[in-house]
Amino acid sequence: MHEFSYRDGVLCCEGVALTDLAAEHGTPLYVYSAKTIRDHYRRLDEALSGLDHRVCFAMKANSNLAVLNLLAREGAGFDIVSGGELFRVLQSGGRADSCTFAGVGKTREEIEYALKEGVYSFNVESEPELEFINEVAGALGKKAPVALRVNPDVDAQTHKYISTGKSHNKFGIGIDRILGVYAQAAKLPHLQIRGIQTHIGSQILETTPFVEALGKLAPIVEELKKSYGIEFFSIGGGVGIVYHGTLESGAPDWWLRANGDGGKRIGFDDYARAVVPLLKPLGLKILLEPGRSLVGNAGALLASVLYVKKTPAKNFVITDAGMNDLIRPALYEGHHEIVPLQEPPAGAPHGPVDVVGPVCESGDFFAQDRELPEVQAGEKIALLSAGAYGFVMASNYNSRRLPAEILVDGGHSEVVRARQSWDDLVAGERVPGK
Ligand SMILES: *Cc1c(COP(=O)(O)O)cnc(C)c1O
């Protein structure tokens, strides 16, 4: 599942000791395992080998150029949600014609850029957007390849902030209206209807919602193939990962038990077994847009313990990483396993603590009432499974510098994004008149 484990009492990523990385580069520090990302990509690709398919990495999950380059070399395309993401793809050595452009609010500038670079498809989320893309393409003397995002109205059984396929979500065009909107699209002269797309949500841990969505969409896809000769069906991303108890080896038993295990899990094999039989008969190119499932377990955020603050109500472990570095716990009630970089000896004392950051917000916590081995000021810890929706959501809130990012590959590690300097913090700002 990933390449983080204790070796000789030290937490390692592949062949590299994380204690060494923390000492050399400081904390907070993001570390990614190239092997884990490659393994995940290959396992998904292999599971779908019965289909004509392309995996378009949903790069909003992790858009570091090194990660994009690694996936581009594996043969991945990219699902992008902004002009900036297209720029990153091109900077990393990826190709525009392997990109699908998603998102409910594309601007003229972004549409022009994507048309000039030649993206594979605009995944369109509303009628006004369809008309606008037609107009922008016409002005450039181009035809825009489009697919409509259909909202199948299914319950993805996930956190409400990452559920996207219910009729009350802002995403896509309702399933009952979709054929009408295709008919409208067919009349617009500067569009080429290329496919259909859906995406029902994120961190989905069962196959049922996917099967339900595909079951509802299959007749529509058949109809579109007949009427408009569409070439692809993108089934989105959303396959969930395991966040609980992810340190399979080395960790004391009591501790993984105490931290629990979510129970539900879904593998690429389960996913493929469920969806391939529904997709194969369609005879189309199938696109997938996985984000989290490729990179989530491949990253960790390292932090240093600054203080251990004991109060009558609670004990707080205060770290130098905060919600501005990793916002998932605050935003989605996300869980990350927290482990010391130095393996605690068997029988080491432990107890419930809140692990919190230095940011001036009560929401700035990584764990509450979590059973953890006792740690002292100065010790280093890792927040596991932070490879997706981690660094990409980091901000400068509280004028904290964005952390550095490291890519480990075998015994080799490389800084793939330098830690921001204080000058970076104020770059572009000025005091009027000076
Ligand atoms: C976010 C997103 C994805 C990726 O979701 P994951 O849960 O990370 O796999 C795929 N497609 C679209 C349109 C998205 O917005």
178 and 284 co-located in one domain: yes
pLDDT value of residue 256: 55
pLDDT one-digit tens code per residue, 199-241: 999 999 999 999 999 999 999 999 999 999 999 999 999 999 9
Q: Give the residue numbers spanning the domain of 54.
A: 34-291
pLDDT band, very low/low/confident/very high, at 128 (cuts 50, 70, 90): very high
State in Å: Cα 126 to ligand 1 middle. Answer: 18
What's the whole-number average pLDDT of the chain?
Answer: 94
Percent share of the chain, pLDDT over 70: 94
pLDDT one-digit tens code per residue, 382-416: 999 999 999 999 999 999 999 999 999 999 999 99
pLDDT value of residue 138: 98
| Alpha-carbon span 203 to 390, nearest angstrom | 14
228 and 87 co-located in one domain: yes
- On whether residue 261 sits in a domain, the answer given is yes
Q: Which of 291, 320, 348 finishes a domain?
A: 291
Q: Based on the structure, what is the number of domains in the chain?
A: 2
State in Å: Cα 77 to ligand 1 middle. Answer: 14
For 197, residues 6+ apart whose C-beta sits below 8 A from its C-beta are 100, 102, 121, 123, 147, 148, 149, 150, 233, 234, 236, 287
Which atom of ligand 1 has the smallest separation from the CA of 60?
1
Q: What phi and psi values does residue 416 have, to the nearest 5 degrees?
A: -105, -5
- On whether residue 14 sits in a domain, the answer given is no
269 and 362 co-located in one domain: no
pLDDT value of residue 239: 95
**Protein residues whose CB sits closer than 6 Å to any atom of ligand 1:** 58, 60-61, 79, 102, 199, 202, 236-238, 289-293
What is the pTM (predicted TM-score) of this model? 0.95
Which atom of ligand 1 has the smallest separation from the CA of 197?
13
Whether 360 is catalytic: yes
Which atom of ligand 1 has the smallest separation from the CA of 81?
15
**Domain at 278, CATH number:** 3.20.20.10
Q: Which of 237, 266, 291 finishes a domain?
A: 291
pLDDT band, very low/low/confident/very high, at 170 (cuts 50, 70, 90): confident
pLDDT value of residue 346: 81
287 and 401 co-located in one domain: no
- On whether residue 27 sits in a domain, the answer given is no
228 and 204 co-located in one domain: yes
Residue labelled with tokens 């015994």: 411
State in Å: Cα 62 to ligand 1 middle. Answer: 11
> What is the average per-residue pLDDT within 58-65?
98
pLDDT value of residue 262: 52
270 and 404 co-located in one domain: no
| Alpha-carbon span 82 to 86, nearest angstrom | 7
State in Å: Cα 42 to ligand 1 middle. Answer: 19
For 422, how many CA atoms within 13 A lie in the half-sphere containing its CB? 0
pLDDT value of residue 220: 97
Pocket test for ligand 1, best of 40, 289, 293 (most atoms within 8 A of CB): 289
pLDDT one-digit tens code per residue, 341-393: 999 888 889 899 999 999 999 899 999 999 999 999 999 999 999 999 999 99
Burial of 203 (0-12, 13-18, 19+ CB in 10 A): buried
pLDDT one-digit tens code per residue, 308-336: 999 999 999 999 999 999 999 999 889 99
pLDDT at 264 over 90: no
**Domain at 401, CATH number:** 2.40.37.10
